[in-house]
Structure 1
């Protein structure tokens, strides 16, 4: 029995059949240009299965399975900038587990791999690759390639010295930076405008690069986020997830500032510079570092994306609800916001606790006396 589905611009086939032992197996193949091509492949495969031409194969190497899984389930749906992460994850498996078959892997073997790989790497790197491997293994269990999920309950191992807390600017430093960027801005060079936009909206760098004039609504003082900009493909691409599609309220002055930029780009891109290109993250970082150096602000790990973190820190310091911040950032779930910004949340917890105690104190009876409590204590 075959299942044919369209994924992106291509078609994918999944054929279910019984091998010579009578056990059900599946074969997935993606990348067909037309539905007819996919159907022909399915028909041919089913005929081979009926004729007993398909021999059961030993499960592949973990690295090979991971790459086949990527090509089948992920390649047609991920953004260009994400491809490199999967390529790197595959390279790591080939380096650390070159001869490990997926059916031979167990929790002990995987934990040893994580220990060896993570001891010289940052937590974010280990966590990201672990999540990709886990997703592929879950599908391997679902497809009957292996019997158990050997990654479940694994413990991440990483180098704490390479794992930094989120870098952000203080309120004073943010004001200094904004003032400097405003005084030195030039509409023909859009990097400084992009930095200011990031500080005041919390948008991702790619989302800022993907803005068009149609996304700017000066009647309601909003910015609509519905696409991103790919530096590698030099073209628009889909957002990170469905939750990323959102409308952000902002100050009128920010939209007036953005409106200083030329409106001559053929693609209506807001931040296209005089060379008709969107500045890369490296280019924006160069401008940002120069500005911070001029102001004497020393933040070794601060970069363009850190403006998003600064936006969150500022909102938290002013008591803005975490749910509202999560929606503004375009996170799929408030738990994502809590996890990513746990360091900042803990930092501002003391301020929040003080506000809670102050608020609850208003409920205290006006004529409260602890005389009764003292009398009771003496009686004991």
Structure 2
């Protein structure tokens, strides 16, 4: 390791190291001697920890994409892999070909700050979590010697208030009768929305519902898979099956589903096709066009319907939130709502619907005070 002054007046710092038995040299020029000494000392420290200076020179985006290929391709869902690749695009957009060894905590914080200006906090947290996993592996493999994601401050747009994600009771009582009246083979989007509203399922879970998971006699649906639109196939529920569960449905709705199935059978029979053969996956919401409606398509149909009914415009996911809010406002317990939504933790249910819990607590207070006050009222009436 050495520093020498060049004829140009600049200072050249040089470090030498061995990799796989071969000698390598790394040099860099600086305008000031102090800068050259600092660079030299930093690289000495890196070599002292076993850092691989050659690998540290590779663009971070190259390292990150290679890491995804090795660790996040096999054994993960297509959706998870797509998320990693999308984040890789953001890494490339900000860092370009910056070497992984040159990225500082300040650099990464600026990246997170910029990302947070156009994304919510929860998605920014996911971005940091996924990048941090790769960076920590780089530290473990001596590619770099410091974790530049350490103690980064998460920034992001304020999340949408839960109140904005569901329909209030007035809007619910306008939408529900319309869906009951019009959901059917000719309006498959409405049929899917009604299913979500009755069961609290996510869109992908409704799209992936199969007839063998509908128990007409006991009025139970089993949720154990979801539709993967990119691959046009069925896959595990959220969390690799952690969102599996059974949900009871109203007897009249079970009858409606049974009639709906027969209508689909009759339609395909009329055009010379066997429903069970053409619908080989036995999908409940297999349409007349022999496909599953997309989330964007259902959202578009719902937006038009909301406008028609004069109610707040929401997305299909609002059916899940509305399902929960109706139950809570009707006095159902949080553990029961947790069961229907298949949240792993009661805390998740509470955090999502705390505003409704506080509202029902106020009503419970009034009822409790009435009960607790009754003995005093009786005593006063006796004394009068």
Structure 1 and Structure 2 fold alike (TM over 0.5): yes
1:304 aligns with 2:316: yes
Displacement of 1:66 in angstroms is 2.4
Q: Which residue of 1 aligns with 2:32?
A: none
Question: Contact between 1:316 and 1:345, CA under 8 Å: does it hold in 2?
Answer: no
Q: Which residue of structure 2 aligns with residue 58 of structure 1?
A: 55
1:322 to 334, 355, 359: 334
8 A contact 1:193–1:258 mirrored in 2: no
Q: 2:135 is matched with which residue? A: 137
1:283 and 2:282 equivalent?
Answer: no
State the aligned residue count: 310
Unmatched segments (≥5 aa) in structure 1: 1-18, 22-54, 368-380
Identify if the C-alpha distance between structure 1 residues 195 and 164 changes in structure 2 by more than 3 Å, giving closer, same or farther.
Answer: same
Give the C-alpha shift of residue 124 in structure 1.
4.0
TM normalised by structure 1 equals 0.72
The answer (yes or no) to whether the contact 1:181–1:291 under 8 Å persists in 2 is no
The match for 1:6 is none
**Residue range with higher mean Cα deviation, 59-68 or 164-173:** 59-68
C-alpha deviation, 1:358, in angstroms: 5.4
1:233 Cα deviation from its structure 2 partner: 1.5
Residue 202 of structure 1: how far off its partner (Å): 1.2
Separation in 2 of the partners of 1:333 and 1:100? 41
Shift of 1:229: 0.9
Q: 1:102, 1:69 → 2: CA distance?
A: 13
1:232-311 map, 5 Å? 232-241=230-239, 242-259=241-258, 260-261=260-261, 262-263=264-265, 264=275, 265-299=279-313, 302-311=314-323
TM-score in terms of structure 2 length: 0.71
Following superposition, the deviation at residue 205 of structure 1 comes to 0.8
- Is the contact made by 1:181 and 1:192 (CA closer than 8 Å) also made in structure 2? yes
Whichever structure has more helix as a proportion of its residues is: 2
Q: Any idea what the Cα deviations from partners look like across 1:6-48, whole Å, max 9, x if unmatched?
A: xxxxxxxxxxxxx759xxxxxxxxxxxxxxxxxxxxxxxxxxx
| Alignment RMSD | 3.0
> Structure 1 330/106 Cα, relative in aligned 2: closer, same or farther at 3 Å?
farther
Find the counterpart in structure 2 of residue 120 from structure 1. 118
Tell me whether 1:165 sits opposite 2:177 in the alignment. Answer: no
Instruction: Work out whether residues 61 and 100 of structure 1, in 8 Å CA contact, stay in contact via their aligned partners in 2.
Output: yes
Corresponding residue number in structure 2 for 1:78? 76
Q: How does 1:20-31 map to 2 (within 5 A)?
A: 20=20
Other structure's SS at 2:305 match? helix
Runs of 5+ unmatched residues, structure 2: 1-18, 22-51, 266-274, 377-384
Largest Rg, 1 or 2: 2
